[in-house]
């Protein structure tokens, strides 16, 4: 799979100019060439909420594919690859996209962190009744108006609108016409591996991995930690912790070999706040300290 599509690339794909100068954008779908623009399976480096009020299409994300034939709302995030294929030309509705910079601490630690709407393995599509369409249309129209305003605190208002949309979606029931492949353990293992792998490689000392232990992965996958461990053991013969440790060790070796970063910088990018903890971890898994390993590489 290719690298994440940027928000600039997203605009280019739709033949739209990207003016920049913000971290939240909202549009009517019919004004953004959504009727003729398919999105190939890929991750994007932004969040997206789409409401389809007219038109049909096929949405795919993670291990599910759904043919949308009636109004619905779809949630997408940078962690989950998704695709969209319009199957009719009468595409109407709204969508908003926003970057990490738009997300306030309250949204990150509250609704966004706890919501299954954006999690791997969670529900991302909900069908809408006429009353839902009417309410969400009003919210999207309000977001369009607010986004054009000069109000100094408009991002706070827009954050509130996003949270309202999320809560309204949580009141709905996810569709059941989803097509899944393979058994449950295999699907869970595949999603875990994908989530683990997409955190690497580390490209700069400012980049840090977001999921460092079994509990954090299980939370993102919207399942219990024991359930994740059982699935991985059944399919791979290894535990969640073993997979995480092996991948972190592999990346640590790569960074020690190909970068000139300090040992503490490398440890921090891999989730270790203190270099002593990184040294202990690395020696446990390689029998060498990070400094000894680096010297061995240089000597060879």
- What are the chain's domains? 7-179 (2.60.120.280), 182-299 (1.10.10.60)
- Is residue 191 within 8 A of residue 62, CB to CB? The reply is yes
- What's the rounded Cα separation, in Å, for the pair 299 and 266? 20
232 pLDDT above the threshold of 60: yes
Q: How far is CA 156 from CA 7, 41, 48, 59, 159, in A?
A: 21, 32, 18, 30, 5
When pLDDT is cut at 50, 70 and 90, the band that residue 62 belongs to is: low
List, for residues 129-182, the tens digit of each pLDDT value. Answer: 999 999 999 999 999 999 999 999 999 999 999 999 998 988 886 655 444 444
- What's the rounded Cα separation, in Å, for the pair 269 and 5? 23
- What's the rounded Cα separation, in Å, for the pair 116 and 99? 19
122 pLDDT above the threshold of 60: yes
pLDDT at 120: 64
- What's the rounded Cα separation, in Å, for the pair 251 and 106? 32
List, for residues 99-120, the tens digit of each pLDDT value. Answer: 988 987 767 666 665 677 777 6
What is the pLDDT of the chain when averaged over all its residues?
87
When pLDDT is cut at 50, 70 and 90, the band that residue 77 belongs to is: confident
């Amino acid at each position: 799979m290719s690298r994440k599509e940027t928000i600039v690339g997203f605009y280019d794909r739709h033949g739209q100019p990207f003016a920049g100068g913000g971290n939240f954008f909202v549009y009517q779908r019919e004004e953004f060439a959504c009727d003729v623009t398919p999105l190939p399976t890929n991750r994007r480096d932004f969040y997206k909420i789409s409401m389809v009020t007219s038109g049909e299409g096929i949405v795919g994300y993670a291990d599910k594919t759904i043919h949308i034939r009636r109004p619905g709302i779809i949630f997408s995030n940078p962690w989950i690859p998704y695709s969209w294929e319009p199957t009719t030309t009468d595409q109407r509705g709204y969508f908003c996209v926003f970057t990490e910079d738009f997300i306030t601490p309250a949204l990150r630690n509250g609704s966004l962190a706890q919501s299954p709407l954006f999690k791997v393995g969670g529900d991302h599509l909900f069908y809408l009744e006429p009353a839902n369409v009417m309410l969400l249309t009003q919210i999207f129209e309000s977001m369009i108006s607010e986004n054009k305003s000069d109000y100094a605190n408009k991002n706070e208002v827009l954050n509130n609108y996003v949270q309202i949309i999320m809560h309204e979606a949580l009141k709905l029931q996810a569709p059941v016409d989803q097509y899944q492949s393979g058994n449950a353990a295999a699907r869970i293992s595949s999603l875990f591996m994908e989530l683990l792998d997409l955190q690497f490689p580390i490209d700069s000392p400012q980049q840090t991995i977001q999921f460092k232990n079994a509990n954090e992965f299980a939370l993102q996958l919207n399942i219990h930690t024991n359930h994740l461990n059982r699935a991985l053991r059944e399919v791979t013969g290894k535990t969640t912790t073993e997979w995480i440790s092996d991948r972190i060790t592999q990346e640590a070796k790569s960074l020690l070999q190909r970068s000139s970063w300090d040992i503490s910088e490398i440890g921090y990018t891999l989730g270790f706040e203190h270099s002593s903890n990184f040294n202990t971890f690395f020696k446990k898994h390689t029998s060498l300290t990070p400094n000894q390993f680096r010297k061995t590489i240089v000597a060879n």
